[in-house]
Amino acid sequence: MQGERVLITGISGFVGSHLAEFLLERGMEVYGTIRWRSKLDNIKHIQDKIGLIETDIKDAYSMQKTIDNVEPDYIFHLAAQSFVPTSWKAPSETVVTNIIGTLNLFEAIRNSNSDPRIQVAGSSEEYGMVFPDELPIKETNPLRPLSPYAVSKVATDLLGYQYHQSYGLKIVRTRAFNHTGPRRGEPFVSSNFAKQIAEIERGLKPPVIHVGNLNAQRDFTDVRDIANAYWLSVQKCEFGEVYNICTGVARNIRSVLDLLLDMTDVKMEVKQDPERMRPSDVEILLCDCSKFRQRTGWEPKIAFEDTMKDLLDYWRGLV
Ligand code: A2R
């Protein structure tokens, strides 16, 4: 395994940075795509150990050059417009980045001398509307996406299927459910709460936490467990197949907030903010991960309480 080359698209993002750390620890040669304007805060501690290549995935030419130069053994395709609310405001940008960007990657591989194993990051959002009698969600559940982002991820996922079937690309499609941990972007719910708490502790804002829909239930996994899962997916999963990745425990957002509030000594008021409600939201996302677990032996190792503590400490160190 020593010296095998890995390319992570979107290495400067939340998952990309953790995956890069994980792969470096295992002796891999790690390369990653960034854009000229990418913030490098998430990877500055490992920047001298990885190869960074400027590539906009929307640009087929730059994608081709990157694949030809790196000749990767593994690709983790994470680059995306990854935030659901942004996809309501910028649906066209979301669809182009996520769908055309993925197409450019697959075409670049097809036109290269490389034959890498490729993980394509889909999302639990692909399932969208899920009825109570359909829980927990299996890979065979219908896909009823409820946002432009979710639609873009359905297309990404199905392109992965098609490029495997049509051209034999060694693609594994993953659908990770919510994941969180240190470096999670502040618009994401758990990170947003943690940041607000850290700011209030510092006296940077009044002791009021603004929240959206606290009744929604989500299945959270630590990002470091997700990094391990993605690595296992390219080692052990069947090409062309799709795998849910999750913990299998649904927590309502209120309990996530309560857990974080228990970690602070400062008293805070909780205030619901209509701006934070989505035009359409999925009430419960609970996942069945048995297909992935049976295939890979993966188990999440990090307790949710530790994830939240690390996330809050991350923000305490930043604000
Ligand atoms: O926005 P930037 O410049 O910081 O880079 C982001 C990158 N990215 C792109 N890279 C190349 N060409 C593009 N047109 C482009 N648009 C975005 O993707 C960033 O490095 C990465 C996304 O990182 P996050 O937003 O932190 O996403 P996260 O949570 O790491 O999700 C990874 C994957 C995504 O495909 C999600 O849709 C999926 O897992 O859940």
- Assess whether the C-beta atom of 78 lies below 6 angstroms from ligand 1: yes
The answer, yes or no, to whether residue 56 has pLDDT greater than 60, is: yes
> Which pLDDT value is given to residue 1?
44
Angle in degrees, CA 80, 234, 178, rounded to 5: 45
What six digits make up the tokens of 197? 């708490």
> Which pLDDT value is given to residue 274?
79
Domains 5-180+220-248+289-296 and 189-217+250-283+302-318 share a fold: no
Using an 8 Å Cβ cutoff, are 1 and 28 in contact? yes
Residue of the CA atom closest to atom 23 of ligand 1: 13
Structure confidence by residue, pLDDT tens digits, 178-195: 999 999 999 899 999 999
- Assess whether the C-beta atom of 58 lies below 6 angstroms from ligand 1: yes
> Which pLDDT value is given to residue 276?
75
Tell me the pLDDT band of 285, cut-offs 50, 70 and 90.
confident
Query: What distance in angstroms lies between residue 13's CA and the mean position of ligand 1's atoms?
Result: 5
- Assess whether the C-beta atom of 185 lies below 6 angstroms from ligand 1: yes
What six digits make up the tokens of 142? 């219908």
What six digits make up the tokens of 314? 């991350």
The answer, yes or no, to whether residue 176 has pLDDT greater than 50, is: yes
Phi/psi of residue 132, nearest 5 degrees? -55, -35
Q: How far is CA 222 from CA 66, 79, 128, 215, 310, in A?
A: 30, 19, 22, 21, 10
Instruction: Provide the percentage of residues in the chain whose pLDDT is more than 90.
Output: 92
Structure confidence by residue, pLDDT tens digits, 140-161: 999 999 999 999 999 999 999 9
- Cα–Cα dist 253/215, whole Å: 6
Q: Is the model's pTM score more than 0.85?
A: yes
The answer, yes or no, to whether residue 277 has pLDDT greater than 90, is: no
Pick the CATH number of 189-217+250-283+302-318 from 3.90.25.10, 3.40.50.2300, 1.10.3430.10, 3.40.50.300: 3.90.25.10
Query: What distance in angstroms lies between residue 265's CA and the mean position of ligand 1's atoms?
Result: 35
- Cα–Cα dist 318/146, whole Å: 34
- Read off the amino acid at residue 285: L
Structure confidence by residue, pLDDT tens digits, 305-314: 999 999 999 9
CB-based burial, 228-265: b 16+ in 10 Å, e otherwise: bbbbbbbeebebbbbbbbbbbebbbbeebbebbeeeee
Residue of the CA atom closest to atom 11 of ligand 1: 56
Residue of the CA atom closest to atom 2 of ligand 1: 38
Residue of the CA atom closest to atom 29 of ligand 1: 14
Structure confidence by residue, pLDDT tens digits, 9-32: 999 999 999 999 999 999 999 999
> Which pLDDT value is given to residue 279?
57
> Which pLDDT value is given to residue 117?
98
Query: What distance in angstroms lies between residue 79's CA and the mean position of ligand 1's atoms?
Result: 4
Query: What distance in angstroms lies between residue 9's CA and the mean position of ligand 1's atoms?
Result: 8
Structure confidence by residue, pLDDT tens digits, 219-276: 999 999 999 999 999 999 999 999 999 999 999 999 999 999 999 999 999 999 877 7
The best mutation among 15, 41, 174, 245 to test binding of ligand 1, ranked by most ligand atoms within 8 Å of the C-beta, falls on 15
- Cα–Cα dist 215/229, whole Å: 28
- Assess whether the C-beta atom of 12 lies below 6 angstroms from ligand 1: yes
- Assess whether the C-beta atom of 60 lies below 6 angstroms from ligand 1: no
* Mean of pLDDT values over 115-133: 95
* Mean of pLDDT values over 292-304: 98
- Assess whether the C-beta atom of 307 lies below 6 angstroms from ligand 1: no
The answer, yes or no, to whether residue 281 has pLDDT greater than 70, is: no
Residue of the CA atom closest to atom 37 of ligand 1: 82
> Which pLDDT value is given to residue 109?
98
- Cα–Cα dist 101/119, whole Å: 14
Within its chain, how far is the Cα of 60 from the centroid? Answer: 23
Pick the CATH number of 5-180+220-248+289-296 from 3.40.50.2300, 3.40.50.720, 3.40.50.970, 3.10.310.10: 3.40.50.720
**Domain range summary for the chain, segments of one domain joined by +:** 5-180+220-248+289-296, 189-217+250-283+302-318
